[in-house]
């Protein structure tokens, strides 16, 4: 492995995030054990805090949800679930951990510095050890939660800052008062297209404190996705219950409602965190999903079936 010379602009920006990597003795890690333990557990994206970034461009700089596991001489980052679960072991003594693939190698190098966990991810070509990608991440505990700084590229192409919290520490929104009859305008069969897919949502009329819905997405003559849906009365308000693919339910609380618009939120869910239905003139319905704060929501346009 050979050393590289970093361009001056990259060095300047990386220095702002604690760029210098220095080895330290095991006793240092022991002295910082209590501080390190504060990083353990599951973390969920709350908001983008990058200075000057427009609201519609805000997004998490890395996984929406991840976990950190503190070990004796390393921190392990866990992302994904099941077959997509991935673990990255970050040694804290300045040494490099390498994962070798068919044509590339991924190298991880970390340190504990000034109360922050800092580590680099470097992807290189095996043929000539040339750099393909560099990502630097800094994790720092603050009174608001975990502040994550991410720098991408050499030279620097992107710098982001975002706040993460333990899911149980994220405040739930105040529910709006409503009855199921207030959602009667949603009852119908709604159809639309998105790219090469046809999408439909069918909602029953309000009855017995509930509305039942089902969604189906068809592409190339085959069903590629489905979802079971409910809106139910609870504690003087409404709860939207979603089961995409029939998985266990996720609940979203009604937070805003008028005669043609309803907003349901669950900031403790990874994605989506916010669901909006809006009825427009001309028998059209817009459904959108996105983050609780910022970002560009996905929009789905429907019309009444047969119209």
In this structure, are 131 and 204 located in the same domain?
Answer: no
In whole angstroms, what is the distance from residue 153 CA to residue 29 CA?
29
Domain shared by 185 and 155, yes or no:
no
Q: Is residue 253 part of a domain?
A: yes
From CA 134, how far away is CA 124, in angstroms rounded?
Answer: 9
Nearest 5°: CA angle at 256, between 305 and 287? 30
Q: Is 175 domain-assigned?
A: no
Q: Is 50 a domain residue?
A: yes
Residue 247 lies in a domain: yes
Tens place of pLDDT for every residue, the chain, 307 residues? 333 333 444 333 333 333 333 333 444 445 466 788 899 999 999 999 999 999 999 999 999 999 999 988 889 999 887 778 889 888 888 888 888 999 999 998 898 888 899 989 999 999 999 999 999 999 999 999 999 999 998 788 899 999 999 999 999 999 999 999 999 999 999 999 999 999 999 999 999 999 999 999 999 999 999 999 999 999 999 999 999 999 999 999 999 999 999 999 999 999 999 999 999 877 899 999 999 999 999 999 999 998 7
Of the residues 169, 192, 223, the one at which a domain ends = 169
Note whether 7 and 19 are within 8 A (CB): no
Residue 179 to residue 211: CA distance in whole angstroms = 11
This prediction's pTM: 0.84
d(CA 170, CA 50): 20
What is the model's pLDDT at position 11?
35
Same domain, 104 and 147: yes
In a domain, 2, yes or no: no
**159 with 189, same domain?**
no
Report whether 53 contacts 47 (CB < 8 A): no
- Residue 228 domain-assigned? yes
Q: Are residues 45 and 134 in the same domain?
A: yes
Final residue before a domain boundary, out of 169, 199, 230 = 169
Supply the DSSP symbol for 178: -
The 3-state secondary structure of 129-158 reads CCEEEEEEEEEEEECCEEEEEEEECCCCCE
Residues 119 and 245 in one domain: no
Q: What is the CATH number of the domain that holds 75?
A: 2.40.128.20
In this structure, is residue 174 part of a structural domain? no
Please check whether residues 239 and 147 belong to one and the same domain.
Answer: no
Same domain, 37 and 148: yes
Per-position b or e across 92-120, b if 16+ CB within 10 A of its CB: bbeeeeeeeeeeebbbbbbbbbeebbbbb
Residue 38 sits in the same domain as residue 158: yes
pLDDT value of position 3: 35
- Are 23 and 138 contained in the same domain? yes
Task: Count the domains in the chain.
Answer: 2
Of 104, 134, 169, the position where a domain reaches its end is: 169
What pLDDT score does 30 carry? 52
Shared domain for 192 and 118, answered yes or no, is: no
190 in the same domain as 164: no
Q: Residue 262 belongs to what domain range?
A: 180-304
Place of tokens 């996905």: 298
Residue by residue, DSSP assigns the chain as ----PPPHHHHHHHHHT--------HHHHHHTHHHHHTT-EEEEEEEE--TT--GGG---SS-SEEEEEE-SSEEEEEES-GGG-EEEEEESEEEEEEEE-SSEEEEEEEEEETTEEEEEEEEEETTT--EEEEEEEEEEEETTEEEEEEEETTTT-EEEEEEEE-GGGSPPPPPPP--GGGGGGG-EEEEEEETTEEEEEEEPPPBTTEEEEEEEEEETTEEEEEEEEEEEEETTEEEEEEEETTPSPEEEEEEEE-SSEEEEE-TTSSS-SEEEEEEETTTEEEEEEE-SSSS--EEEEEEETT-
């Amino acid at each position: 492995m050979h050393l590289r010379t970093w361009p001056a602009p990259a060095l300047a920006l990386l220095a702002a995030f604690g760029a210098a990597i220095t080895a330290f003795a095991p006793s240092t890690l022991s002295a910082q054990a209590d501080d390190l333990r504060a990083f353990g557990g599951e973390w969920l994206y709350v908001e983008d805090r990058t200075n000057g970034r427009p609201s519609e461009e805000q997004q998490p700089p890395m996984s929406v949800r991840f976990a950190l596991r503190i070990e004796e001489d390393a921190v392990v980052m866990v992302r994904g679930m099941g077959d997509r679960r991935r673990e990255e072991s970050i040694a804290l003594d300045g040494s490099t951990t390498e994962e070798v693939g068919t044509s590339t190698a991924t190298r991880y190098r970390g340190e504990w510095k000034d109360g922050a966990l800092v580590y680099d991810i470097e992807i290189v070509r095996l043929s000539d050890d040339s750099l393909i990608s560099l990502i630097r991440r800094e994790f720092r505990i603050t009174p608001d939660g975990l502040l994550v700084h991410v720098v991408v590229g050499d030279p620097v192409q992107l710098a982001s800052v975002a706040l993460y919290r333990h899911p149980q520490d994220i405040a739930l929104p105040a529910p709006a008062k409503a009855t199921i009859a207030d959602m009667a305008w949603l009852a119908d069969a709604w159809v639309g297209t998105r790219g090469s897919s046809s999408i439909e949502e069918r909602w029953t009329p309000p009855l017995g404190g509930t509305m039942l819905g089902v969604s189906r997405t068809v592409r190339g003559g085959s069903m590629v996705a489905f979802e079971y849906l409910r809106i139910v009365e609870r504690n003087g308000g409404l709860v939207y219950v979603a089961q995409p693919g029939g998985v266990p339910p996720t609940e979203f609380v009604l937070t805003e409602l008028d005669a043609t618009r309803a907003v349901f939120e669950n900031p403790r869910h990874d994605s989506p965190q916010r669901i909006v239905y809006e009825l427009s003139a001309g028998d059209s319905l817009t459904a959108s999903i996105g983050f609780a704060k910022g970002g560009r929501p996905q929009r789905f346009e429907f019309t009444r079936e047969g119209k």
